[in-house]
């Protein structure tokens, strides 16, 4: 099972509007809870890259950045906004990340920003295993968890830090950091948790 076609189609149709909203926020603000862990001069993977905001920010820090998204619309907007030169853009999605695994690259840092809620709970063990297999020794993976009222157009499933901790342990990883966050888009019914996992 891959990401819902309904969710992907919704992102395709709304790509321009969604990307404008995402681009209005800064990476350092959105990821303040873990920004000290964002590397320089490393191999980085941004899964579900959306508008490419974070991928481009990471590339500007001297990282080699691969950015993946399941939506052609979102990838098209990301390329349009940020260009083709700084980031390697790839169409791919959890749980398998088959195209990324085919690159035979291990990443020092993996980012999943506002993605995990789209992964069906039945697919999450495979997803964590895929992420674990892509992490280099000592690598870290930052996952932001969306809590609250789901957007029915984009098919969102419940998430929890406890579930991530359990799945990570089965994949030989552990939770390094867990921080609750407010919603920077000021939606009163949405909140976030930043979870960092690694070996």
Q: Enter the tokens of residue 180.
A: 């609750």
Can you give the pLDDT at residue 187?
86
Band of pLDDT at residue 149, cut at 50, 70 and 90: confident
Q: Is the CB of residue 179 less than 8 Å from the CB of residue 33?
A: yes
Class of domain 5-198: alpha beta
Q: Work out the average pLDDT over 173-188.
A: 91
DSSP 8-state secondary structure symbol assigned to residue 118 = G
Q: What mean pLDDT do residues 24-52 have?
A: 96
DSSP structure class, residue 176: E
pLDDT in tens, 82-104: 999 999 999 999 999 999 999 99
Q: What average pLDDT does range 44-52 have in this prediction?
A: 97
Mean pLDDT of the chain, nearest integer: 94
pLDDT of residue 3: 63
* 9 has pLDDT over 50: yes
Domain ranges (residues) in the chain: 5-198
- With cut-offs at 50, 70 and 90, classify the pLDDT of residue 169: very high
CA distance 195 to 177: 6
Percent above pLDDT 70 for the chain: 98
Residue 47 near residue 94 (C-beta atoms within 8 A): yes
**pLDDT exceeds cutoff 50 at 161:** yes
Lowest mean pLDDT among 2-16, 30-44, 50-64, 74-88: 2-16
> Among candidates 154, 169, 166, which has minimal Cα distance to 115?
154
List 151's β-bridge partners, or say none: none
| Residue-level pLDDT at 1 | 41
Among 55, 56, 62, which Cα is nearest to 39's? 62
Per-residue confidence (pLDDT) for residue 186, from 0 to 100: 83
Taking the model in full, what pTM does it have? 0.94
Q: Per DSSP, what are the bridge partners of residue 88?
A: 66
Average pLDDT of span 71-82: 96
Whether the Cβ atoms of residue 155 and residue 118 lie closer than 8 Å to each other: yes
**Mean pLDDT, residues 175-197 taken together:** 92
DSSP 95: T
Query: Is the confidence at residue 49, as pLDDT, over 60?
Result: yes
Give the tokens for residue 162: 């406890």
């Amino acid at each position: 099972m891959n990401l819902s076609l309904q969710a992907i189609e919704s992102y395709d149709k709304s790509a321009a509007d969604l990307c404008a909203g995402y681009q209005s926020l800064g990476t350092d603000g959105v990821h303040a809870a873990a920004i000290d862990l964002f590397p320089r001069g490393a191999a980085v993977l941004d899964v579900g890259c959306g508008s490419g905001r974070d991928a481009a920010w990471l590339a500007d820090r001297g990282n080699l950045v691969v950015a993946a998204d399941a939506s052609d619309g979102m990838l098209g907007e990301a390329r349009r906004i940020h260009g083709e030169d700084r980031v390697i853009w790839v169409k791919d999605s959890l749980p398998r990340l088959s195209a990324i695994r085919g690159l035979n690259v291990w990443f020092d840092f993996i980012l999943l920003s506002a993605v995990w809620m789209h992964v069906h709970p039945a697919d999450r063990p495979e997803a964590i295993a895929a992420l674990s297999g892509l992490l280099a020794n000592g690598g870290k993976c930052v996952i932001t968890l969306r809590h609250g009222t789901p957007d029915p157009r984009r098919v969102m499933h419940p998430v929890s830090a406890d579930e991530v901790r359990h799945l990570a342990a089965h994949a030989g990883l552990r939770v390094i950091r867990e921080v609750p966050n407010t919603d920077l888009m000021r939606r009163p019914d949405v909140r976030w948790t930043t979870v960092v996992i690694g070996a």
